[in-house]
Amino acid sequence: MNTTSNPPKPEVDEALRSALAPGNRPEKASGLTSSLVFGWRAILKIKYVPEQLLDVTMFPIMFTLMFTYLFGGAIAGSTSEYLQFLLPGILVQTVVFTSIYTGTALNTDISKGIFDRFRSLPIWGPSPLVGALLADTIRYSIASSIVIVLGLILGFRPEGGVIGVLLGVMLLLVFAFSLSWIFTALGLVMRTPNAVMGVSMVVLFPLTFASNVFVDPRTMPSWLQAFVEANPITLLVTAVRGLMQGTVTFNQIAAVLIASFVIVVIFAPLTIYLYRNRK
């Protein structure tokens, strides 16, 4: 009996050769391109899991209504007068708290193993981080729009007009982008998403409530005023409030931009180092 296998047919052999023949490799994606791809991935997560927008839709509405109508009369003597003071502060508080999501989302990817897959891809290393941060600006924009629209319905009338409101939101987005680097670093060192959320809240609650978001610091004890005036949240609220009311100064805007720059310079390299060296 002949046990020798039959040779492959010529046409099959040729098809196999053509399929295995090396072709031209596509060019490696640039850092901008890969970052935008990861940004689009984060946007698609909003599309398929819309429940994650609850923090940027329901919470700002609840805070605005509660503080305006529960405390406005006691603090300012009039809810309408207090709304003019409160709304820029609520806007800042809402966006700042929303920036926590970047760290929790990254930590979730780490816990599911997606993180390791991203690091094995032939792409610019920090692109998953940068893409997520860029996509979060959409979340910040949604939160800002909800707060402003609600404020206008309730009677908020910015003296700075449309330009002042838009510039205030833009300045807020710049600061929120820089602040997100801090929470991204926390997302890389904490073990669980709940831990990231807990630590972030511990950091943000004193910063937001010990500021000029809700009350004028001049009503506070002198020892507390020193902390409040140096608080970066206070600097941001002062600048955003000034832009919306048409009373902003160059120094107020410069202080926010400098604070944002310092945060990025410190935490962006630290976050990228943690990202590359995490085991």
State the average pLDDT over residues 212-238: 88
Name the 3-class secondary structure at 211. Answer: coil
- The per-residue pLDDT for 54 is 72
At 19, the pLDDT band (50, 70, 90 cuts) reads low
Residue 239: name the closest of 226, 225, 256 by CA.
Answer: 256
Q: How much is the pLDDT for 32?
A: 77
pLDDT score of 14? 65
| Own/partner pairs, 29-34, CB within 8 angstroms, 24+ separation | 29/123, 29/124, 30/124, 31/124, 31/126, 31/127, 31/130, 34/123, 34/124, 34/127, 34/131
> Domain map of the chain by residue range?
31-277
pLDDT at 38: 82
Alpha helices by DSSP H, the chain:
10-20, 31-48, 54-66, 72-76, 79-98, 100-112, 114-120, 127-154, 161-189, 193-209, 222-230, 232-245, 250-277
130-167 tens-digit pLDDT: 888 888 888 888 888 888 999 999 989 999 889 999 99
Please classify residue 43 by burial: count the beta carbons closer than 10 Å to its beta carbon, then call 0-12 exposed, 13-18 middle and 19+ buried.
Answer: middle
In this prediction the pTM is: 0.81
Instruction: Give the mean pLDDT of 252-263.
Output: 94
pLDDT in tens, 76-100: 778 888 899 989 999 998 888 888 8
- What separation in angstroms does the CA of 85 have from each of 89, 90, 216, 267? 7, 9, 9, 32
CB 167, CB 175: distance < 8 Å: no
Q: Which two tokens stand for residue 130?
A: 């940068």
- 223-233 pLDDT, tens digit each: 888 888 889 99
What percent of the chain shows pLDDT beyond 90? 23
Q: Which two tokens stand for residue 267?
A: 């935490």
pLDDT of residue 12: 53
Q: pLDDT at position 242, please? A: 94
47, pLDDT greater than 80: no
pLDDT category, 261, cuts 50, 70, 90?
A: very high
Q: With contact defined as beta carbons under 8 Å apart, do 146 and 152 qualify?
A: no
141: exposed, middle or buried (Cβ count in 10 Å: 0-12, 13-18, 19+): middle
Instruction: Look up tokens 């700075």; give the residue.
Output: 160
Asked whether the predicted pLDDT for residue 2 surpasses 60, the reply is no
Q: For position 13, what pLDDT does the model report? A: 61
Q: With H, G, I as helix, E, B as strand and everything else as coil, classify residue 239.
A: helix
How sure is the predictor about 114, in pLDDT bands with cuts at 50, 70 and 90? confident
